């Protein structure tokens, strides 16, 4: 076995689409990791992967080429066993840190190389969710890279007078590329409740590119459990997903936290968790982005510096917060943009096609917070809704989310066209830049905070309808619009 690359057939894979080749796949990657050799698969093979509780660990380059993979999720020994984990040789370890301030630029601790750091304050809860999926929040957390000189990247979002625990792992220097492959998931047939399946790829290291692949889903029934994602990142840095085709999942209902009410469960093909610098470039979904039978294909939690470029997705979602995100040259669908977080949000040269009311919706279940700046440049919104807001929210000021909630500090809209139908009567449409911000009443216990500045240019509706700043301008007393106080 002295050739330049390894193959699954070297370890007994049959590749006929019927024989379970998972043991051979696992063994091949174990040897590749030991020897540092890349893996290349047979273009003519179809590898069947059953429900065994096991994971193939990838630490070297992989060329799946035109090989096909059948991932059968109908009879799993454990629903949280990823098929592949893209991992590092470096282990996570505990570190001791002094109190840290929001925006702190430097941390002086002894270490080698660049570190991925995650810190926790378990005494403080944030993202205290409201609504059908209400909860008691999560511990205050932050992630950042600490370089060899102690510089912090990106910025730290919160003050940490108390750090109850901190973890670090050295960042890999060498990149990994995983390319090719045609993957088909045979969907689970489990009961419809929050029993998330974790199958596919789990990327847990730095400097990973996954490209030129396709993922399809077959066998969905009128019931099933949701998925975390065919591709998931976790504690990862510098990950690029590009030139790919992916598939959304059916929407299933389950009981909510409010008795007698049901709730639609989120189910994803791309899911990014506690990761920095994650990019999706030229990735498209197989299903019409306006087909409401399918959930939004993309979600993120606790991430920093996300990019979507030249993508066609049913939505972009920052679930429990993102710090800095860019959407460029994209087309998004029926679940549009659902956003909460910090820093700079930019969307440019993009179109949303939806029957909803909001071009950007600041998620109400987490307080409709964007603590930073929002820039919209040369975008279009196609909708049949009678009420349209470029930025929508719903925070009535009666709930403690664990943080100060703000609609955005500085908002810029430079080129926006509402595609509402040129023949549509003007009196059939209400068109506003901002929603009503009813929670801005200072008498409310957790009053919502409105923006400081709003800069507008080239904002039009296809039928000539003029926009209002808001249908409730009395709630924006501190807002300056194009240099003029409201």
User: DSSP states of 122-171 as a string?
Assistant: EEEEE----STT----EEEEEEEEE-TT-BEES---S-BS---EEEEEEP
- Average pLDDT of the chain, as a whole number: 96
Residue 372 has pLDDT above 60, yes or no: yes
Q: Compute the 3-state secondary structure of the chain and give helix, strand, coil in percent, each to the nearest 5.
A: 5, 45, 50
Sorted by where each begins, the domain ranges of the chain are: 8-62+71-80, 93-170, 338-486
479, 444 Cβ separation under 8 angstroms: no
Amino acid 2: pLDDT: 58
Q: Tell me the CB-side half-sphere exposure of residue 268, using CA atoms within 13 A.
A: 23
**pLDDT, tens digit, for every residue of 250-301?**
999 998 888 889 999 889 999 999 999 999 999 999 999 999 999 989 999 9
- Alpha carbon dihedral 10, 16, 20, 23, in 10-degree steps, equals 10
Confidence tier at 421 by pLDDT (50, 70, 90): very high
Residue 1 has pLDDT above 70, yes or no: no
Amino acid 248: pLDDT: 96
**pLDDT, tens digit, for every residue of 17-53?**
999 999 999 999 999 999 999 999 999 999 999 999 9
Q: Which of 34-38, 257-261, 369-373, 397-401 has the lowest mean pLDDT?
A: 257-261
- Considering just the CA atoms, what is the radius of gyration of the chain in Å? 24
418, 381 Cβ separation under 8 angstroms: yes
**pLDDT, tens digit, for every residue of 472-482?**
999 998 999 99
E-assigned strands of 310-437?
Answer: 312-313, 316-317, 320-328, 331-332, 337-339, 341-348, 351-353, 358-362, 370-382, 387-392, 410-419, 430-434
**pLDDT, tens digit, for every residue of 106-137?**
999 999 999 999 999 999 999 999 998 999 99
């Amino acid at each position: 076995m002295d050739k330049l690359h390894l193959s699954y057939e070297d370890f007994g894979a049959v590749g006929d689409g019927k024989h379970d080749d998972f043991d051979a796949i696992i063994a091949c990657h174990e040897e590749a990791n030991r020897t540092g050799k890349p893996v290349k698969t047979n273009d003519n093979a179809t590898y069947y992967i059953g429900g065994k509780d096991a994971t193939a660990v990838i630490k070297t380059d992989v060329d799946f080429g035109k090989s096909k993979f059948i991932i059968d999720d109908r009879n799993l020994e454990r629903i949280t066993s990823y098929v592949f984990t893209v991992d590092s040789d470096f282990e996570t370890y505990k570190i001791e840190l002094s109190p840290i301030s929001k925006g702190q630029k430097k941390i002086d601790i002894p270490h080698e190389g660049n570190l991925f750091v995650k810190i926790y304050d378990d005494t403080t809860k944030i993202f205290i969710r409201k609504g059908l999926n209400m909860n008691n929040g999560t511990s205050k957390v932050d992630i950042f890279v600490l370089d060899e000189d102690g510089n912090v990247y990106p910025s730290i979002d919160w003050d940490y007078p108390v750090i109850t625990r901190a973890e670090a792992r050295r960042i890999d220097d060498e990149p990994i590329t995983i390319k090719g492959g045609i993957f088909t998931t045979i969907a689970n047939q489990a009961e419809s409740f929050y029993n998330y399946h974790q199958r596919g790829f789990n990327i847990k290291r730095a400097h990973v590119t996954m490209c030129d692949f396709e993922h399809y889903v077959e066998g969905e029934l009128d019931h099933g459990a949701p998925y975390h994602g065919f591709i998931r990142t976790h504690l990862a840095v510098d990950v690029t997903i590009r030139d790919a085709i992916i598939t959304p999942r059916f929407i299933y209902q389950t009981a909510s936290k409010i008795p007698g009410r049901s709730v639609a469960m989120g189910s994803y093909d791309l899911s990014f968790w506690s990761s920095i610098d994650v990019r999706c470039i030229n990735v498209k979904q197989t299903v019409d982005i306006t087909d409401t039978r399918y959930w939004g294909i993309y979600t993120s939690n606790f991430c920093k510096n996300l990019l979507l470029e030249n993508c066609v997705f049913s939505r972009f979602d920052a679930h429990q917060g993102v710090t800095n995100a860019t959407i460029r040259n994209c087309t998004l669908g029926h679940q549009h943009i659902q956003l909460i977080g910090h820093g700079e949000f930019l969307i440019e040269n993009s179109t949303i096609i939806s029957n909803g009311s909001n071009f950007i919706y600041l998620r109400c279940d987490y307080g409709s917070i964007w603590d930073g700046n929002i820039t919209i440049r040369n975008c279009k919104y196609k909708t049949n809704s009678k009420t349209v807001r470029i930025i929508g929210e719903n925070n009535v000021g009666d709930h403690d989310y664990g943080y100060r909630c703000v609609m955005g500090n500085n908002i810029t809209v430079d080129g926006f066209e509402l595609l509402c139908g040129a023949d549509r009567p003007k009196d059939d449409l209400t068109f506003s830049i901002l929603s009503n911000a009813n929670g801005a009443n200072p008498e409310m216990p957790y009053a919502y905070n409105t923006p400081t500045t709003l800069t507008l240019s080239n904002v039009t509706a296809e039928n000539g309808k003029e926009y209002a700043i808001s249908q409730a301008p009395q709630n924006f007393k501190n807002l300056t619009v194009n240099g003029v106080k409201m």
